[in-house]
Structure 1
Amino acid sequence: MDAPASTRSALTDTSQQLRLLIDSVRDHALYLLDPEGIVCSWNPGAERIKGYAADEVIGTHFGRFYLPADRDAGEPQRLLRLAAQQGHCSAEGWRVRRDRASFRASIVIEPVLENGELLGYVKITRDITEQWQAQRLLRDAQRALRQTQQFETVGRLSRGLSHEFNNLLTTIGNALDLLALRVGSDPRAHELLSTAQTATDRGALLTRQLLAFSTGQTLIREPVDVNELIVESLPGLRRAHASGTLLGTELAHDLPPVCTDALQLQTALANLVANAVEATADGGHVLIATALEHRLDPDGEAGQQRRYVTVSVRDQGRGMPVDVAERATEPFFTTKDIGKGSGLGLSQVFGFTTQSGGFVDVSTTPGVGTTVSLLLPALEEPAP
């Protein structure tokens, strides 16, 4: 059946075509700006994405959609200048909806010219929050997988070395104990023996750390309430670090249990808190926080997510440069002075977390602080 004459007229009239085209676009905000950035038109897609009705926006500056920091820095004006100079401008960043919620936006700005004169701009905005979050989760999962593969290789070597060193140190320690009975009252000999025994004890400690890192240890895995474990550990952690640093907690409610070794989790927590307190030696706050997160499973099928209970230790210390942060979990890598660190602290934490089926996330900013998060798989309830 033929379309009515009014419909045919609307589809052949140029201005009507343009109006119908713009009004039919629902997944893109498409609107006109004058040369100063004042909104002159507003399509249904813009209302859906940004939450504003046309009469709330037309006549106002489009900078209202930007984060306050970007607005104060002149980002909206910079993008307009760039579009005018280059004939096109595309960018990506955070924007603000009417309800003040932020979203990730991909934007394009095109200048509107007539006889070389700038009449205004066409601006197109697309909400890419879901894609951005998916890419971020994928990057996290890929990084965790790479770390796991790297540590599996180094761990196999470390297991063999740790057993060999343990045998050697046992022999040396026994020999030093026998010598201590025969040196008599020579103070210099006692001093040398004491130094040698201290070095042997330190070597034994490093061997135990190396064995723990290599995941050669046997975990006694059982359901663990992470919040309960942190609350029970807190008094001891505070006594161990009686300094000007304040140790607090921010624990999420109704967390599911995790299946891991409670003693090893306590050891990992103590290790992270010790590092955080040392980084905040001049005073400040160290925060132990828990949360429930949905992340891509590094060992699962493509795109498969699962729930992780996150245990984070956050400090207000010096932070780390990017190149140092990337190596923070490498075995034997340390920024401490000789004799003050083995470089196995975070590696040991990583080994335990990986053996529990999880992974470690390190977030740091120089001059602001560092957050180290253990992501342990939540214990899922059996299907009814």
Structure 2
Amino acid sequence: MQYPIAERYGPGLGDTSRQFELLVNSVTDYAIYMLDAEGYVRSWNPGGERIKGYIADEVIGTSFSRFYDAADAEAGLPWTNLETARNEGRYSGEGWRLRKDGSRFMASVVIDPIWEGGQLIGFAKITRDVTARYEAEQRLEQARQSLLQAQKMEAIGELTLGMAHDFNNLLTIILNSLDAIGSASADQRIGRMVETATRASERGIVLTRQLLAFGRGQNLAPEAVDANALVEADRDLFRRCAGDQVTVRHELTPGLPAIHVDRAQLEAALLNLISNSRDAMPSGGTITLSTAPAVGPAPAEHPVEPDALRFVAITVADDGTGIPEELQERVFEPFFTTKDVGRGSGLGLSQVFGFASQSGGHAHLDSAPGRGTRVTLVLPVTPDPR
């Protein structure tokens, strides 16, 4: 048996336009509104108020370009989107939009043209706030990139470690042979040649140690080290390393727990970082050594909850030239350098990375062209004897 529309759907729902009005005004997760052919807002629903913060009286009759940031509006993006909808029958996309309070949100937008009698009379626009999804995707991508980078560095480390051991064995044979030649010959000319070759071999041993540090194959002698006391004790050493044109500042957080590291290797790592900062400021500048407490995340070798590991962060920051973003993922690789040919072996930062990793911590870099560079060593505190 068929009933009249009003009887089937209840009072107030028999009129199609009334049904549509109730539907649109009941939706709060989507901003659903109409624009005229020139892009002026002609209707507004509660979803628009919830997402963008405007009530209807504040937006109806105004240009929808107010929802775009200034740069996009000046570039004509609002009108480009309408033109796409007009020419292609629909526009859909995502981008940053503005709320009434000036905050930004990631919007998923659909715009459909409205035609009547072959004439464009306006646009139907639907906007959804997808900021939470976007941020989750960004975090997932960052985690994926971090994992890929960690796997790459691990593979390079294993290769480097094997090469360093083989190279070290060869150098040992060479040095023993040079020592025997020097002892057996009284010829001064041969003695000078042996001395030159010996110095070159010893330089090779130093480079090998740096490779072993990156590959985490060096022998560390960890002890309880007061990071602040070490930085203060080496103040003059760091100042001489930085050179006369560079000012070295200390920003040390008092009361930090002792860290569990090899003191000599920590000093070598800080000297490497100061040398790099000095070279990045040929006309002078400021290097800041700072210490602060830190918590995780734990490196891959320590699969525990992040809060279970406590750290101290030691940062070397400069106001130099900075490092281009596309090069930053490679700075800790052995033999990679941003310096001019002949000005660096490319092993300084690899030593820093290897030392931090083998100590149970990690190193990370923050840099941008023209804004300087910050390298932070995050090192574990001395274990509680209990």
TM-score using structure 1 length? 0.73
190-199 or 54-63: bigger deviation: 190-199
1:44 pairs, out of 46, 62, 71, with 46
Alignment partners' CA distance in 1, 2:207 and 2:269 = 16
Q: 1:319 aligned to 2:320? A: no
Structure 2 partner of 1:350: 353
Structure 2 partner of 1:112: 114
TM-score using structure 2 length? 0.73
> Residue type matched to 2:202 in 1?
D
Structure 1 partner of 2:3: none
Q: Which runs of 5+ in 1 are unaligned?
A: none
Deviations 1:296-334 (A, max 9, x none): 987899xx9879977585755263373x44544433334
Q: Is the 8 A contact 2:37 2:121 kept in 1?
A: yes
**3-state SS of 1:22 partner:** helix
Alignment partners' CA distance in 2, 1:146 and 1:262 = 29
Alignment partners' CA distance in 2, 1:227 and 1:314 = 19
Structure 2 partner of 1:156: 158
Structure 2 partner of 1:133: 135
Alignment partners' CA distance in 2, 1:315 and 1:308 = 29
Q: Which runs of 5+ in 2 are unaligned?
A: 1-5
Distance 1:65 1:170, change over 3 A: same
**3-state SS of 1:140 partner:** helix
Deviations 1:203-247 (A, max 9, x none): 111111111111224566789898998788777545422365666
Deviations 1:107-147 (A, max 9, x none): 22222222232222222222222222222222222222223
Q: Is the 8 A contact 1:212 1:348 kept in 2?
A: yes
Alignment partners' CA distance in 1, 2:199 and 2:356 = 30
2:90 pairs, out of 85, 88, 91, with 88
> Residue type matched to 1:319 in 2?
I
Number of residues of Structure 1 aligned to a counterpart in Structure 2: 372
Q: Is the 8 A contact 2:356 2:379 kept in 1?
A: no
Q: Is the 8 A contact 2:220 2:262 kept in 1?
A: no
1:113-262 correspondence to structure 2 within 5 Å = 113-176=115-178, 186=188, 192-217=193-218, 237-242=238-243, 244=245, 261=261
Distance 1:175 1:221, change over 3 A: closer
Q: Aligned-pair distance for 1:24?
A: 1.9
> Residue type matched to 1:275 in 2?
N
150-159 or 140-149: bigger deviation: 150-159
Determine what percentage of the aligned residue pairs are the same residue.
43
Distance 1:255 1:350, change over 3 A: farther
Alignment partners' CA distance in 2, 1:22 and 1:5 = 22
Alignment partners' CA distance in 2, 1:5 and 1:250 = 78
Alignment partners' CA distance in 1, 2:27 and 2:298 = 32
RMSD: 4.6
Q: Is the 8 A contact 2:299 2:362 kept in 1?
A: no
**3-state SS of 1:10 partner:** coil
Alignment partners' CA distance in 1, 2:145 and 2:237 = 34
